[in-house]
Amino acid sequence: DQQVKQNSPSLSVQEGRISILNCDYTNSMFDYFLWYKKYPAEGPTFLISISSIKDKNEDGRFTVFLNKSAKHLSLHIVPSQPGDSAVYFCAASGQSGGGADGLTFGKGTHLIIQP
Amino acid sequence: ETGVTQTPRHLVMGMTNKKSLKCEQHLGHNAMYWYKQSAKKPLELMFVYNFKEQTENNSVPSRFSPECPNSSHLFLHLHTLQPEDSALYLCASSQAVFQGTNEKLFFGSGTQLSVL
């Protein structure tokens, strides 16, 4: 069963408008969340993260919102630019009491910015 | 230069072949990882190494055999693979073993593997 879900496989947004990518999780032990961006033929690159002690983190055009009660986070990109066209992965991690769990990823959302 | 280099970028192999994937990180990190990305599926963690010691094996079949001779190099040895093993194999590293807050993974570009 998927613990991190990105229910929209793709999203098309007009250049200059806001892009909103959504992510839901089921594991209440997750306490750190990240967004990665992936271009074709490249590995994912870190974009922005948020700890569960916060409900918002902003970095330039990118803002991540976390709603712990709903187990939901979202990534807002404003204004959207053509270079933002990529696949965006939501990932989560939790303090599981020992061992290296790495990150649990969603399937990704392909964001397409239309000129 | 991403800091994490994977070779080869593409690999086609038959089910009876033996091949190896190589990963090298130039970031001075202590932890390295293998992830698998299949079509329409999330990235799946396969193996974790911390200071050259394997700390995680996520129920990966024995036809995948990792090797970490030092903190900068990671290999994935492949033998008698199945067509369903065709996927993008991504190597990653982090400063320390990933146990949560403030840690980030740095990924290589991946090896696109096709098993015929």
CA–CA distances in Å: residue B104 to residues B3, B9, B17: 13, 23, 35
**Of the ranges A58-72, B82-96, B97-111, which one carries the lowest mean pLDDT score?**
B97-111
Quickly count: other Cβ atoms within 10 Å of residue A2's Cβ: 14
Tell which of B43, B68, B94 to mutate to test the A interface (max A CBs under 10 Å). B43
Residue identified by tokens 């933002």 is A84
Q: Which residues of B touch A89 (CB under 8 A)?
A: 42-43
Average pLDDT, rounded, for chain B: 89
Looking at per-residue pLDDT, the higher value among A75 and A102 belongs to A75
Give the residue from B100, B33, B96, B48 showing the smallest Cα distance to A49: B100
Looking at per-residue pLDDT, the higher value among B49 and A101 belongs to B49
> Measured between CB atoms, which of B40, B55, B101 is closest to A107?
B40
CB contact (8 A) between residue A102 and residue B33: yes
Q: Are A3 and A107 in contact (CB under 8 A)?
A: no
Q: What is the pLDDT of residues B10-36, one digit of tens each?
A: 999 988 889 999 999 999 998 899 999
- Polymer length of chain A: 115
Looking at per-residue pLDDT, the higher value among A101 and A49 belongs to A49
